[in-house]
Chain A
């Protein structure tokens, strides 16, 4: 920016020479303000998704910049939701970017008092060991009435329905 540009963009100059003598409008606009662009416009791409909370199934547009989710808002094309979201849906950017969201695998050993770190592969293998050991230990070919059951009741799974939480 040359000296002339600097002068021309100086609010007082604009105020004295422009149509905003009181300096409350155009003359007061800072360069940064003038350059503002919404992050929906500067995003690298948009993914079409669906809200993860309740089962209404509102359409979401997920804006990505530099491989980070920068904005999630309603998909106006969705005949279910017509671009609208409730407070939970509106908070879903915070859901995915929350600083408290856990990043790494944690392990608590029997009788331990604190979490420990564990790498993902080791943890997955340890879980597989536990599953197979428990299955071996608790396998039933027949039940106590002698009926064929072909199963283990030694471990259980409680599955979520948003695939994220409950």
Chain B
């Protein structure tokens, strides 16, 4: 956090000064570790064992917050008898289908819910469309809000007992064996976390992509969620699981998504064959029989379509739903890049992205671009993705020749953040408005300007078309006012459209107060339901800047709530768990919820409210169901549905690992996405022949001094001079083993390619004892790329990775992989290809290597 979010880290330093204990768990000793009370070096890719052992510690030592757990989580809920855990199947949960590499999750259901009807969509299909993304704003659907519970937690089928059995093997000794963390260090963490949780105290978990970019990335976060729910740290001040996001508005780019499988507000993209008409879509999006606010998804969807298509969207035409494109499988970024390689894709827009450096499998990225007909790059600087046709590393190796590349490239200079107005949605779910300081000069323009004009031209060209396919573009509202005589469309008008309007009735023309105003009858519009309220009362709340007032600064979705699910900060009777940790509470006199934050609950529903049997939606939420976006109002220790790789996190080794799975025969996540292609070869992992050729673990990360692929840092002398060269961090022990010299060069090799880096020998990297062997880890920052425009250039660490993805959200595994490291510079020119080929030959690598999903003997 000190490395990548230094200004955020001031709050950690301040907490520390007040006596907080700071623990840093990371393969490397970083600037964060330097200020932590305890640094725990861990083997990259082993975190689920560490988290699982914490869960076991909490359960065995009865450190859980019992009242919270019983009332607010699904601990007491009974799981169906059909569920079988991984220990019964050598690493597989019940329901695995080796043909498709996916689970039928019916057997994971709650008791009484299981498989009593036809399923709407197979898990294979859900994986194909990365359905996990939809859970960015809510929990997964359940068939019904009715569940069987045993609040004594004794019934063997309670989630609580299932959890106990599942983590029984996750001992401190296993942590040593898998993570390389000595039991004493683990117990110190466990003691600190549990003694700082409860009524009076809370503990926060903070993570970044070091946790998500794994083939089991979603399950890492689930592990932390289970811990936080057991300890009562969710929905309470100082608690939670905080994602520290790396790009200014990356939260915004999932809320109003740049993802192929989402519509704004985490509504799913329609799927061919399953969402053929609007009713089918709505029925699959929200289950009217369950609890909570997601049952209103029809209102959110209709309002969205009204925002897009205006008057053209009517009840009769399903609000234009039929005009939307349908997805039919994986169209994610990596699938699409592979399709480029196969000449299935003609054009590509890069809007502030530099995949030639920043995406995994850099070579595939660059080769793919050479297959395009046209490429549009919008950026501040001439990034490597814009100049690949003349300075890609593949030109040096002879794989590409400038004259042979038929790609037409357009480079548009972008306006900087000071030259356009708008919002960023930041890591706290908070929208902050940026005022424009100056007009952009020369050809520099905002993205808004570019997209707006592209849309205008498209609408003009298609205005006279009678083709059905052009109806969406014809119907699209595209009438944003242009401000101040510039050609820049008004960002405020767009934010108002996102907020939404009353379209009919008394308040017609007024802005919505929030998403609860949205209706499914076409009487309201709104471009993203979770953002509704940001412009309530025609006041741009993202613009609020009351000095040093957290609750009066910007606007956080939903409805300006700063802590989600904050009903959980009070006990079931509505009283704060402790005065010290009071956030919202029930005020009997006023008959409503009050407190220091906007209550994340129906304001006047008393704690003792019990729904009528058979009620659904928000009405079905009891007065002590704090998790209002969950289908049963509870925090899910066990996920009966929604996840494609297991209802509970289970340890699997990374796709490439020199270590055998200590728990069972199944080595890796059996549902991960793999791509078997000659351009995407994998290193053999432990248990496969040739694994010894790639004995080391490497991980990648950012440095404080740089930003992502370097487009905004390597072009700045003041940043470039602070970290001028690509380096590899190694321990003195590894340096001795491989003959690496401090400040000398090293070549790092995988089945994909070899890169070179200067060597930093440092005690900040520690070898780990894993089972009976020593595992060395190598640290590689990923900021550099090969080009001739930046102040500093170098080989890109992302070139080393293979494409293997988490099945829920398609995140690539690029925080843990295996490699070899040798002293000296890498070969140049075509000799580099021979060098890597020789490694492949030695390790016996084929397209099947490492890509076997099932590694246990009998499924």
Q: Please say whether the chains A and B touch (CB closer than 8 A).
A: yes
Chain A residues near B (Cβ < 8 Å): 45, 47-59, 62, 64, 67-69, 72, 76-82, 84-92, 94-96, 98, 100-111, 113, 115, 118-120, 123-128, 130-132, 134, 137-139, 141, 143, 145, 147-166
Q: Which residues in chain B, 161-181, are within 8 Å of chain A measured between CB atoms?
A: none
Query: Are A124 and B457 touching (Cβ within 8 A)?
Result: yes
B29 adjacent to chain A (CB < 8 Å): no
Partner of A164, one of B326, B382, B712: B712
CB proximity of B297 to chain A, nearest CB, Å: 22
Size class of the B contact interface (CB-based, 8 Å): 35 or more
Q: Chain A interface: which of B41-49, B547-555, B600-608?
A: B547-555
Query: Are B450 and A149 touching (Cβ within 8 A)?
Result: no
B376 adjacent to chain A (CB < 8 Å): yes
Partner of A50, one of B273, B434, B436, B712: B434
Query: Are B5 and A128 touching (Cβ within 8 A)?
Result: no
Query: Are B344 and A153 touching (Cβ within 8 A)?
Result: yes
Cα-based distance from A51 to B554 in the complex (angstroms): 14
Chain B residue numbers with a CB within 8 Å of A98 are 380-381, 715-716
Evaluate whether A159 and B417 lie within 8 angstroms (CB atoms) in the complex, with A57-B428, A69-B437 already known. no
Cα-based distance from A72 to B340 in the complex (angstroms): 41
Partner of A134, one of B347, B446, B549: B347
> Which 6 interchain pairs have the tightest Cβ spacing?
A160-B352, A155-B347, A151-B325, A57-B426, A161-B247, A47-B437
Chain A residue numbers with a CB within 8 Å of B445 are 120
Query: Are A84 and B405 touching (Cβ within 8 A)?
Result: no
Partner of A68, one of B327, B438, B462: B438
Taken residue by residue from 397 to 410, chain B's Cβ proximity to chain A (1 for < 8 Å, 0 otherwise) reads as: 00000111111111
CB proximity of B482 to chain A, nearest CB, Å: 15
CB proximity of B204 to chain A, nearest CB, Å: 15
B413 adjacent to chain A (CB < 8 Å): yes
Which of A80, A137, A164 has the largest number of chain B CB atoms within 10 A? Answer: A164
Can you name 8 extra interface pairs (CB under 8 A) apart from A79-B548, A130-B374? A62-B435, A69-B437, A107-B408, A128-B454, A145-B273, A157-B348, A160-B253, A165-B707
Query: Are B348 and A165 touching (Cβ within 8 A)?
Result: no
Which of A92, A119, A155 has the largest number of chain B CB atoms within 10 A? Answer: A155
Query: Are B719 and A137 touching (Cβ within 8 A)?
Result: no
Kindly report which residue of chain A lies nearest to residue B258, judged by CB atoms: A159
Query: Are A52 and B417 touching (Cβ within 8 A)?
Result: yes
Chain A residue numbers with a CB within 8 Å of B712 are 52-53, 88, 95, 162, 164-166
Chain B residue numbers with a CB within 8 Å of A54 are 4-5, 244-248, 427, 707
Query: Are A156 and B380 touching (Cβ within 8 A)?
Result: no
B822 adjacent to chain A (CB < 8 Å): no
Kindly report which residue of chain B lies nearest to residue A134, judged by CB atoms: B346
Evaluate whether A156 and B441 lie within 8 angstroms (CB atoms) in the complex, with A54-B247, A110-B408 already known. no
CB proximity of B209 to chain A, nearest CB, Å: 12
Chain B residue numbers with a CB within 8 Å of A139 are 469
Evaluate whether A87 and B704 lie within 8 angstroms (CB atoms) in the complex, with A57-B430, A67-B439, A124-B450 already known. yes
Cα-based distance from A151 to B432 in the complex (angstroms): 34
Chain B residue numbers with a CB within 8 Å of A119 are 443
B836 adjacent to chain A (CB < 8 Å): no
Query: Are A143 and B272 touching (Cβ within 8 A)?
Result: yes
Q: Which residues in chain B, 247-285, are within 8 Å of chain A measured between CB atoms?
A: 247-253, 258, 272-273, 276
Q: List 27 A-B contacts (CB under 8 A).
A: A53-B712, A54-B427, A55-B251, A57-B430, A79-B547, A86-B6, A86-B7, A94-B717, A95-B416, A95-B712, A98-B381, A98-B716, A101-B416, A103-B444, A107-B411, A108-B411, A110-B408, A111-B404, A124-B454, A132-B458, A149-B326, A152-B325, A161-B247, A162-B424, A163-B417, A163-B446, A165-B383
Chain B residue numbers with a CB within 8 Å of A126 are 410
Which of B5, B272, B428, B461 has the largest number of chain A CB atoms within 10 A? Answer: B272
Taken residue by residue from 446 to 465, chain B's Cβ proximity to chain A (1 for < 8 Å, 0 otherwise) reads as: 11001001100110011000
Chain B residue numbers with a CB within 8 Å of A134 are 346-347, 373-374
Q: Chain A interface: which of B80-88, B96-104, B328-336, B515-523?
A: B328-336
Cα-based distance from A161 to B347 in the complex (angstroms): 21
Chain A residue numbers with a CB within 8 Å of B68 are none
Chain B residue numbers with a CB within 8 Å of A111 are 402-406
Query: Are A159 and B353 touching (Cβ within 8 A)?
Result: yes
Total of A-B residue pairs, C-beta within 8 Å: 366
Cα-based distance from A158 to B213 in the complex (angstroms): 18
Partner of A166, one of B252, B324, B437, B708: B708
Query: Are B345 and A161 touching (Cβ within 8 A)?
Result: no
Chain A residue numbers with a CB within 8 Å of B441 are 103
B358 adjacent to chain A (CB < 8 Å): yes
Evaluate whether A47 and B458 lie within 8 angstroms (CB atoms) in the complex, with A56-B8, A105-B443, A158-B350 already known. no
Evaluate whether A50 and B352 lie within 8 angstroms (CB atoms) in the complex, with A77-B547, A138-B346, A160-B247 already known. no
Query: Are B333 and A158 touching (Cβ within 8 A)?
Result: yes
Query: Are B258 and A105 touching (Cβ within 8 A)?
Result: no
Evaluate whether A72 and B409 lie within 8 angstroms (CB atoms) in the complex, with A56-B7, A145-B273 already known. no
Query: Are B718 and A108 touching (Cβ within 8 A)?
Result: no
B618 adjacent to chain A (CB < 8 Å): no
Q: Which residues in chain B, 1-28, are within 8 Å of chain A measured between CB atoms?
A: 4-8, 10
Cα-based distance from A76 to B453 in the complex (angstroms): 37
CB proximity of A163 to chain B, nearest CB, Å: 6
Partner of A82, one of B323, B444, B548, B722: B548
Cα-based distance from A87 to B717 in the complex (angstroms): 12
Kindly report which residue of chain B lies nearest to residue A145, judged by CB atoms: B273
Evaluate whether A153 and B707 lie within 8 angstroms (CB atoms) in the complex, with A101-B380, A128-B458, A159-B351 already known. no
Query: Are B442 and A104 touching (Cβ within 8 A)?
Result: yes
Kindly report which residue of chain B lies nearest to residue A53, judged by CB atoms: B707
B311 adjacent to chain A (CB < 8 Å): no
Chain B residue numbers with a CB within 8 Å of A115 are 411
Query: Are B10 and A158 touching (Cβ within 8 A)?
Result: no
Query: Are A148 and B715 touching (Cβ within 8 A)?
Result: no
B389 adjacent to chain A (CB < 8 Å): yes
Evaluate whether A164 and B355 lie within 8 angstroms (CB atoms) in the complex, with A49-B437, A50-B424 already known. no
Query: Are A106 and B414 touching (Cβ within 8 A)?
Result: no
CB proximity of A33 to chain B, nearest CB, Å: 25
Cα-based distance from A150 to B326 in the complex (angstroms): 6
CB proximity of B717 to chain A, nearest CB, Å: 7
Query: Are B328 and A143 touching (Cβ within 8 A)?
Result: yes
B713 adjacent to chain A (CB < 8 Å): yes
Partner of B276, one of A48, A118, A148: A148
B304 adjacent to chain A (CB < 8 Å): no
CB proximity of A116 to chain B, nearest CB, Å: 10
Chain A residue numbers with a CB within 8 Å of B709 are 165-166
Which of B251, B380, B406 has the largest number of chain A CB atoms within 10 A? Answer: B380
CB proximity of A128 to chain B, nearest CB, Å: 4
CB proximity of A57 to chain B, nearest CB, Å: 4
B289 adjacent to chain A (CB < 8 Å): no
Query: Are B406 and A69 touching (Cβ within 8 A)?
Result: no
CB proximity of A3 to chain B, nearest CB, Å: 45
B711 adjacent to chain A (CB < 8 Å): yes
Q: Which residues in chain B, 356-382, are within 8 Å of chain A measured between CB atoms?
A: 358, 373-374, 376, 379-382
Query: Are B351 and A157 touching (Cβ within 8 A)?
Result: yes
Evaluate whether A53 and B328 lie within 8 angstroms (CB atoms) in the complex, with A134-B346, A157-B258, A162-B352 already known. no
Chain B residue numbers with a CB within 8 Å of A130 are 346-347, 373-374, 408
Evaluate whether A148 and B249 lie within 8 angstroms (CB atoms) in the complex, with A53-B707, A157-B348 already known. no
